[in-house]
Amino acid sequence: MTHDASPHPAPPAGSQPDPRSDAPLRRIAVGFGGDERSRDAVRLGAALARAAGARLDIVLIVTQDDPFTAVYPPVGSISGIVADQGAAWLREAEELVPADVDVTALVRRGASVAEGLIAAAEERGADLLVTGSGVGAGRITSHPAVEALVHSSPIPLALAPAGYTGTDGVTDVFAAVSGTSGRHQVVDAATDWADQLDAELVHVTLRAGESAPHPDAGAETRADTETDAAEQTPRAVVAVGRTLAQAVRRVDWPQGALLLMGSSRLAGRRRLFLGTVAARILSRLPIPMIVMPRHEHETDHTLETDHIAHAPGDAVTAPPAGTAR
């Protein structure tokens, strides 16, 4: 497989064709707030946009006061000043994006950061929303907006781990699957993603609490890698640990990998919901995680069981073409 692992070299002329109209990633929105975690998100958004040939929108949401918050003595609105400051932050954010990525910076107003980001992503016709998070350090999220988004985003949500650099590009797409059932919609999505990103597809199963086959499983658990020789079948990784967090640590995640995961069954239709299992995985995951929203035509064979880190997801459908243009 071919991928470009060097930081930001200038691409060969004309090497960035528009993605095909059925490609899963044609437009990527990054939620940016001016903090360090937001810079992680920009780096991830840029790496994905670059690998996918997608357009990048960096969005900064200026929140408004709740109308029931009285400020006294009246001082008028400060959102203009915040927007000025936000525009300055956005200029810094744009500098993180390689020159060959088509990037637009936007300031939008929202009742909350999460609502504003969803509205902006829908307005721009984005196929993916990228945010930073405090993940990778045992914590799940550090920002209330991320907390809200993982339970409400209508489009796939990518969470950049703390300190993400993006210098390795995108080399592998891991699809989180359960070992018990056969085919999952998240697998279809991951296949399309790997195809577009020119990355290797890997099926990963994470399990907790299963001591068999080793009697002292706590010490003996390991990441078993079974590589299928057949070309069509992707590599499969099964990681078992005493806890899910331990199983996550057992996997040798490549620097340039992504993990795709379905939403919990609690998710409303066409909404995304990070289940407790996914949340536990996320807390230890050193690579970006992408959570897929539930599809309307959800079927029953994609149950999220209590010890299998899989939840139903759906194939990413092509976006309505050219919403923003």
Q: Is 14 in the site for another protein (CB under 8 A)?
A: yes
Q: Is 34 in the site for another protein (CB under 8 A)?
A: yes
Q: Is 321 in the site for another protein (CB under 8 A)?
A: no
Interface of this chain with another protein, residues 57 to 96, rule: CB under 8 A: 61-85, 87, 89-91, 94-95
Site string for another protein, 113-152 (x = CB under 8 A): --xx--xx----------------------x---------
Handedness of CA 74, 80, 86, 88 (dihedral sign): negative
Q: Over the range 291-301, which residues count as b (16 or more CB within 10 Å of their CB) and which as e? A: bbbbbeebeee
Element (H, E) at 225: strand 223-226
- 128 SS3 class: strand
We find the least distance from the C-beta atom of residue 274 to another protein, in angstroms, to be: 20
Please, what is the Cα angle at 170 between 176 and 194, to 5 degrees? 55
Q: Out of 108, 203, 280, 295, name the contact with another protein by CB under 8 A.
A: 108
Q: Which stretch binds another protein (CB under 8 A): 11-19, 236-244, 264-272, 273-281?
A: 11-19
| Closer residue to another protein, CB minimum distance, 38 or 171 | 38
| Closer residue to another protein, CB minimum distance, 56 or 201 | 56
The set of residues, in sequence order, having a beta carbon less than 8 Å from that of 227 and lying 6+ positions away, is: 235, 236
What is the rounded CA–CA span in Å between residue 199 and residue 41? 20
| Closer residue to another protein, CB minimum distance, 109 or 265 | 109
| Closer residue to another protein, CB minimum distance, 141 or 171 | 141
| Closer residue to another protein, CB minimum distance, 96 or 247 | 96
CB 39 within 8 A of CB 93: yes
The set of residues, in sequence order, having a beta carbon less than 8 Å from that of 9 and lying 6+ positions away, is: none
We find the least distance from the C-beta atom of residue 83 to another protein, in angstroms, to be: 4
- 23 SS3 class: coil
CB 148 within 8 A of CB 273: no
Give the interface with another protein as residue ranges (CB under 8 A): 10-11, 13-14, 16-18, 33-35, 38, 53, 55, 61-85, 87, 89-91, 94-95, 97, 99-111, 115-116, 119-120, 143
